[in-house]
Amino acid sequence: MKALVIGSGGREHAIAWALSNSPEIEEVLCVPGNGGTAVENKCRNLDIPLKDLRAAADAAVQELGGTEGVVAVIGPENPLTEGAADILGTKGIPVVGPTKAAAQLEASKDAAKKFMKKYGVACAASETYTDLDSALKAVNASSGPVVVKADGLAAGKGVVVAGDKKTAEEAVRRFMVDGELGEAGKKLVIEEYLEGEEISVLAAVSVTPETSETGQACIIPFVPARDHKRLLDGAEGPNTGGMGAIAPVPGLDGETMNRFRKEILEPTLAGLKAEKFDYRGFIFFGLMLTKNGPKLLEYNVRLGDPETQAVLPLMDFDFAKMCLAITDGTLKSFSFKWKEGFVCAPVAVSGGYPGEYGKHKLISVDGPVVKDAGGKIFIAGAVLEKDGLYTTGGRVLAGAASGETAEKAREAAYKTLSGVSFEGMFFRKDIGAPGAAVSKTMKGGKL
Ligand code: AMP
Ligand code: GLY
Q: What is the DSSP letter of 123?
A: B
With a CB cutoff of 8 Å and minimum separation 6, the contacts of 146 are: 138, 139, 162, 168, 190, 191, 192, 193
Mutate to test the pocket of ligand 2, among 105, 227, 240, 296 (most ligand atoms within 8 A of CB): 227
Question: What number does the ligand 1 atom closest to the CA of 126 have?
Answer: 19
Which neighbouring-strand residues pair with 149?
159, 189
Q: Is the pLDDT of residue 231 over 90?
A: yes
Q: 368-394 burial string, b = 16+ CB within 10 Å, else e?
A: eebeebebbbbbbbbbbeeeebbbbbb
Q: What is the pLDDT of residues 36-93, one digit of tens each?
A: 999 999 999 999 999 999 999 999 999 999 999 999 999 999 999 999 999 999 999 9
- What is d(CA 194, CA 191) in angstroms, rounded to the nearest whole number? 9
pTM over 0.95: yes
Is the peptide bond between 49 and the residue preceding it cis, with omega within 30 degrees of 0? no
Angle at 93 between CA 89 and CA 95, to 5 degrees: 65
Identify the band that residue 30 occupies on the pLDDT scale cut at 50, 70 and 90: very high
Q: Give the chain's count of helices (H) and strands (E).
A: 15, 25
| DSSP codes of every residue in 3-56 | EEEEE-SHHHHHHHHHHHTSTT-SEEEEEE--TTTTTSTTEEE----SSSHHHH
Query: What values do phi and psi take at 338, rounded to 5?
Result: -110, 145
Strand order in the sheet with 70-74: 43-45, 27-32, 2-7, 70-74, 95-96
For residue 151, give the nearest of 176, 192, 177, 185 by alpha carbon.
Answer: 185
Q: In this structure, which ligand is nearest to the CA of 197?
A: 1
| Cα of 301 from ligand 1 centre, angstroms | 16
pLDDT tens per residue, range 372-414: 999 999 999 999 999 999 999 999 999 999 999 999 999 999 9
Q: What is the pLDDT of residues 255-309, one digit of tens each?
A: 999 999 999 999 999 999 999 999 999 999 999 999 999 999 999 999 999 999 9
> Mean per-residue pLDDT for 144-161?
91
Contact 203, 282 (CB under 8 A): yes
What is the average pLDDT score of the chain? 95
Mutate to test the pocket of ligand 2, among 153, 157, 200, 229 (most ligand atoms within 8 A of CB): 200
Q: How far is the CA of 334 from the centre of ligand 1 (A)?
A: 33
User: How many A from CA of 357 to the centre of ligand 1?
Assistant: 25
Residues 316-344, mean pLDDT to the nearest whole number: 98
Tell me the pLDDT tens digit for each residue of 92-123. Answer: 999 999 999 999 999 999 999 999 999 999 99
Which one of 298, 299, 438, 439 would you pick to mutate in the ligand 1 pocket, going by the greatest count of ligand atoms within 8 A of its CB?
298
Half-sphere exposure of 262 toward its Cβ, with a 13 Å CA cutoff? 7
**Proximal ligand: closest to the CA of 10:** 2
